Chains A and B, each alone.
Chain A
Amino acid sequence: MKHSGCAVNKERHFSCEDCNGNVSGGFDASTSQIVLCQNNIRNEAHMNRVVTHELVHAFDHCRAHVNWFTDVRHLACSEVRAANLSGDCSLVNEIFRLHFGLKRHHQTCVRDRAILSILAVRNISKEVAQKAVDEVFESCFNDQEPFGRIPHNKTYARYAHRDFQNRDRYYSNI
C-alpha cells in the first residue's frame, strides 16, 4: 500500500463498528476507510481474513480508477480478487461452511462469495450480480496483485513479500 502511495494509518483508515446482519466488514471508498464489524468477527483468524479482504479493496482503490458505485463490473472484479486472495475460500473455511469439493472448488467458492458480497452492498438482482462476475472472472481471478500468487498460508505470503522486495533486481534483469 505504501509503495502505491496509500500508506495505511490504523487510526485514519480503520474503524471498528457494530454492523447489521452478519457482515464482517467493508471498504468505504467515499471515506477511504476499512470498517471492521466488531460484533460479527469471531476470532483472530477470522479477523486476519477480513482485514486482508478489505485491504484488497483498498489496494484496488489506490491503484486503479474503480467505479465502485456506478459500474457493477468493477465492484465484481474487486470482490473476485478479495475472495481469491484473502483466504475466504480456503479448503478449511469451505469445509467449515459444509461446502465439500476439491477439484477446482476454490474457483466455485470465489464466484459464489463474490456474488454474495455484491448483493450485500448493492440493491440488484442475483442474476445481474452473477452476470457481472461471469464477465470479469477470467481477468480478475488471474490478477493476483500485489502478491503475484494466491497466498494460501504464511509460506506463500513470505515468498510473495520476498519477490516484492526483489522487484528492482527482477525487472532490471529480464
Chain B
Amino acid sequence: MADAGGWRPPRPCEAYRAEWTLCRSAGHLLHHYYVHGERPACEQWRRDLASCQEWEERRSAEAQRSLCESERARVQATRKHALVWTLRQSPPADWHLPLPQEEKDQ
C-alpha cells in the first residue's frame, strides 16, 4: 500500500457509485442469476462508496484501510485458481512477421 501522503482511492468515487448502481439494477440481477444461479451481492460496493466519500471528506485512515482491504480481496478472488498455462514473458516472436510468401501470392 502506498504511503498515506501519496495515497488516493484505487478508483474514483464515481466508479464505486456506478458499480453499486449497476449491481443493483434489474438487468444485472438477471445476468448474474443466468450465470451464477443466485442473486448478486452488492453491499460491498456500497461500503466502498461510503469509504471513498469518507476519505474524500475527512481523509479517514479507517476508510483508507477498509478500501485497500476490500480491493485486495477482489484481486485475490480473481487469482484463486491456478492457471492452466504458463504466462509469457514477451509476446510471440512471429505475431508481427508477414504471412508466409506462398499465402501472400495466392
* A→B interface (CB under 8 Å): 4-7, 12, 31-33, 60-67, 73-74, 77, 91, 102-107, 136, 138-140, 142-144, 148, 150, 152-153, 155-156, 159, 162-163, 166, 169-174
Contact = CB atoms under 8 A, between A and B. Distances in A.
B68 to A, nearest CB: 5
A5 B35 contact: no
Given A64-B88, A104-B37, A143 B30 contact: no
Interface of B: 1-2, 7-12, 15, 18-19, 22, 27, 30-31, 33-37, 68, 71-72, 75, 78, 80-88, 90-92, 94-100, 103
A143 B8 contact: no
B95 A5 contact: yes
Q: What 3 A-B pairs come out closest when comparing CB atoms?
A: A5-B91, A104-B37, A139-B81
Given A6-B91, A104-B34, 11 more contacts: A5-B91, A31-B100, A33-B99, A64-B85, A64-B87, A65-B87, A102-B34, A152-B27, A163-B11, A172-B2, A174-B72
B69 to A, nearest CB: 9
A32 B22 contact: no
B10 A65 contact: no
B3 to A, nearest CB: 11
B33, B35, B71, B80 — most chain A CB neighbours (10 Å)? B35
27 contacts: A6-B92, A12-B98, A31-B100, A31-B103, A32-B94, A33-B99, A62-B91, A63-B88, A63-B91, A65-B85, A65-B87, A67-B85, A73-B84, A77-B84, A91-B34, A103-B33, A103-B37, A104-B35, A138-B81, A143-B83, A148-B78, A152-B31, A159-B18, A159-B19, A170-B11, A174-B68, A174-B75
A148 B80 CA distance: 14
Contacts of B27: 152-153
Given A62-B95, A173-B8, A105 B84 contact: no
A152 B11 CA distance: 22
Nearest to B12: A166
Contacts of B18: 159
Contact of A6 (B15, B36, B95): B95
A86 B1 CA distance: 34
Contacts of A162: 15
Nearest to A142: B81
Nearest to A107: B35
